[in-house]
Amino acid sequence: MHELAPLVPEEPFVLSSRPPSPGQQRLALGIVLGLTLALYLVVGPFGGMQFGAIPSFVAVYTSAMFVTDAITAILLYAQFSVLRSSAILVIASGYLFTALLIVPYVLAFPGVLAPHGLIGGTQTTAHIYLLWHCGFPLFVIGYALTKDEHPSRRYSQRAVRSAIVRSVALTAAGAAAATALSMSEAVLPRIMLDESRFVPDWLYVVAAPVASLCIVALVVLWLRRRSILDLFLMVVLCAYLIEIPPHYFPFPARFSTGWYAVRVTSLLSSSIVLIVLLYEITALYGGLLDAVLRQRREREVRLMTGGAVAASIAHEIRQPLTAMITSADAGFRFLDRATPHLDRAKEALQRIVADGHRAGTVVESIRASFKNDDRTRTSLDVNELIREALSLEDGDLRTHRILVRAEAAGQLPEVRGNRGQLQQVLINLITNAIHAMAAEEEPRVLCVKSEAHQGTDVVVSVADTGAGIGSHDRDRIFNPLFTTKSDGMGMGLSICRAIIEAHEGRLTVFPNTPRGAVFQFTLRGIDSASARA
Ligand code: ADP
């Protein structure tokens, strides 16, 4: 037996609500280990080397960081506009904050735009770095603390735009304040001895606050971790932590091997969430395309039978019905005279009888279209048909959180039949079961079972835990045009029965226990059919 877990939390498709797969967890661990290994393999043997300032490197690295952080922020704001959760707004602001701080960082960096920086003094870039690396974990803590808020507390659709504008304005104000703070060299502790050497107590002034905030953020995230976004934010924080020692060892200065190596790894770590977001968007797009194609295929199959039959019944029956009404009117007129014209009235009645027979023939000919036409029949594996039908309905089953139990018999006789028609029967029965369960309490269970019967035939049953069918309706549901749904056509089950009977089988219904309905049909196996022949 194969079971599909009832998945689908509220928003099944997005990074910030989907739990990470074991593969994604392994990838996250691999990134942390890979970054650590790469960094320390470079810094270990070559850590003592000094390369001097390479302004173009700083310009390129900061521009790339700005672009990745800004795009990540934009994508997270876009996710916020869909989910409207405060947590996403907070983390989007975090990425915007880091992107905005990169601008004064590069403006103040000595040698990039001006020999001693375009703004601020010797301490400015180091102060900005400190505030940036303390600020981001604070945003992550804010994200982690708000991410479990009750859905009812989310922003309303109307408030989304103003929330984004407010967040961008506040973040920009925060980044401006941080820049001002960094430029007034007296407020924050001294970090640089000169333009390249750090103060000896760099460990306490920079490393300690950054590391403690990252560790707190990691712990809070770890305790509340649930989604892919949580996982990869933990990776970013780990990267922040492993980047600290190479700044300091073997000596606390800029432009060492460690310093340059850290710029490269921090560019990689700042792109992690962006890469995951882009990957998710591509996967989502693929999934969406797949779902649309499936839906279209399914609709086509349905229209092919339901629509065609309904249209042909309406079209073919209208003509004899109109003729019957005309003849009946004429009959009335002949009888309504002062001297009733009995012969003509009799003729009118005979025409009504003939038209009635004609209507019957029309219905029969429609039924005949489902009858044995051996040219359209092939030998079929019923279990495969069930698998295909379930996969076509997968989207609806997940949406309604329906647990699927497919109990396929191992050794099933092959049947001969029209693949499209039998597929249609299964799809109709499964769709009806989904509709019947949609409004019911969980657990909602759909059990599709195949069994061998008397060694040669196959019995298929589709059982649900829906509302079930009242005893007075049990026979009527197979009548054409009987429906209890506001948008139903009432054709599905009558078509199913016609198809199964055309395959010399039987479609029946009985109550499921403890609730719901079981639709069961038999199909003759190839061996039993040839034995009869
Ligand atoms: P339609 O789906 O258009 O209503 P169908 O012929 O498929 O037409 O079904 C006829 C009626 O039978 C439905 O309207 C519904 O009331 C009932 N029915 C069918 N399947 C089920 C089911 N699994 N559980 C309960 N009622 C069902």
For 288-315, the pLDDT digits (tens) are 888 888 777 766 666 655 655 665 566 6
CA-491 nearest atom, ligand 1: 6
Mean pLDDT (the chain, rounded): 86
CA of 27 to the centre of ligand 1 (A): 47
Indicate the pLDDT class of residue 3, thresholds 50, 70 and 90: very low
CA-488 nearest atom, ligand 1: 3
Which of helix, strand or coil describes residue 459?
strand
Q: For 297-371, which CATH class? A: mainly alpha
CA-467 nearest atom, ligand 1: 25
Q: Is pLDDT larger for residue 337 or for residue 172?
A: 172
CA of 492 to the centre of ligand 1 (A): 8
368 Cβ partners below 8 Å, 6+ apart? none
Residue located nearest, by CA, to atom 13 of ligand 1: 483
Tell me the mean pLDDT in the region 503-510.
Answer: 92
CA of 482 to the centre of ligand 1 (A): 8
pLDDT digits (tens, 9 = 90+) for 332-357: 999 988 888 899 999 999 989 988 88
Indicate the pLDDT class of residue 42, thresholds 50, 70 and 90: confident
Tell me the mean pLDDT in the region 29-46.
Answer: 89
Indicate the pLDDT class of residue 18, thresholds 50, 70 and 90: confident
Look at residue 51 in the predicted model and tell me its pLDDT. 85
Residue located nearest, by CA, to atom 14 of ligand 1: 483
Let me know how long the chain is. Answer: 533
Residue located nearest, by CA, to atom 26 of ligand 1: 469
Share of the chain above pLDDT 90, in %: 49
Residue located nearest, by CA, to atom 8 of ligand 1: 490
Indicate the pLDDT class of residue 124, thresholds 50, 70 and 90: very high
Indicate the pLDDT class of residue 439, thresholds 50, 70 and 90: confident
Cα 4 to the center of its chain, rounded Å: 16
Tell me the mean pLDDT in the region 448-452.
Answer: 94
Q: Is the pLDDT of residue 157 over 90?
A: no
Q: Is the pLDDT of residue 186 over 90?
A: no
CA of 105 to the centre of ligand 1 (A): 67
Look at residue 368 in the predicted model and tell me its pLDDT. 60
CA of 407 to the centre of ligand 1 (A): 23
Amino acid type, 45? P
Number of CB atoms found within 10 A of residue 379's CB? 11
Q: Examine residue 250 and say whether the peptide bond preceding it is cis (omega within 30 degrees of 0).
A: yes
Residue located nearest, by CA, to atom 19 of ligand 1: 432
Strand partners, 416: 379
CA-519 nearest atom, ligand 1: 23
pLDDT digits (tens, 9 = 90+) for 379-438: 899 999 999 889 878 878 998 999 999 998 888 898 988 887 888 889 889 999 999 999
Tell me the mean pLDDT in the region 116-129.
Answer: 94
CA of 517 to the centre of ligand 1 (A): 10
CATH superfamily of the 374-532 domain: Histidine kinase-like ATPase, C-terminal domain (3.30.565.10)
Indicate the pLDDT class of residue 360, thresholds 50, 70 and 90: confident
CA of 510 to the centre of ligand 1 (A): 13
Strand partners, 461: 449, 520
Look at residue 357 in the predicted model and tell me its pLDDT. 83
Tell me the mean pLDDT in the region 433-462.
Answer: 91
CA of 403 to the centre of ligand 1 (A): 20
**Phi and psi, residue 445, nearest 5°:** -125, 130
* Highest mean pLDDT pick, 296-300, 468-472, 482-486: 468-472
Share of the chain above pLDDT 70, in %: 89
Look at residue 365 in the predicted model and tell me its pLDDT. 60
Tell me the mean pLDDT in the region 524-530.
Answer: 70
CA-432 nearest atom, ligand 1: 20
Tell me the mean pLDDT in the region 452-460.
Answer: 88
Identify the residues whose C-beta falls under 6 Å from ligand 1: 428, 432-433, 436, 464, 466-469, 477, 482-485, 488-494, 517
CA of 484 to the centre of ligand 1 (A): 7
Tell me the mean pLDDT in the region 44-61.
Answer: 87
Q: Is the pLDDT of residue 139 over 50?
A: yes
Q: Which residue has the tokens 């103040």?
A: 108
Tell me the mean pLDDT in the region 43-58.
Answer: 85
Q: What ranges do the domains of the chain cover?
A: 22-270, 297-371, 374-532
* pTM of the full structure: 0.59
Q: Are 509 and 496 in contact (CB under 8 A)?
A: no
CA of 449 to the centre of ligand 1 (A): 20
Burial code (b: 16+ CB inside 10 Å, e: under 16) for 169-178 equals eebeebbeeb
Q: For 22-270, which CATH class? A: mainly alpha
Residue located nearest, by CA, to atom 20 of ligand 1: 432
Residue located nearest, by CA, to atom 23 of ligand 1: 433
Amino acid type, 149? E
Q: What is the spatial order of strands in the sheet that 507-511 belongs to?
A: 2-4, 402-408, 444-453, 457-463, 517-523, 507-511
Q: Is the pLDDT of residue 2 over 60?
A: no
Best of 493, 496, 507, 510 for a ligand 1 pocket test (most atoms within 8 Å of beta carbon): 493
Helices (H), 184-256: 202, 208-223, 228-242, 245-248
507 Cβ partners below 8 Å, 6+ apart? 425, 478, 493, 496, 497, 500, 501, 519, 520, 521
Residue located nearest, by CA, to atom 25 of ligand 1: 468
CA of 490 to the centre of ligand 1 (A): 7
Strand partners, 417: 378
CA-464 nearest atom, ligand 1: 23
User: Measured between alpha carbons, how far is residue 206 from residues 167, 213, 464 in Å?
Assistant: 27, 11, 62
Look at residue 13 in the predicted model and tell me its pLDDT. 56
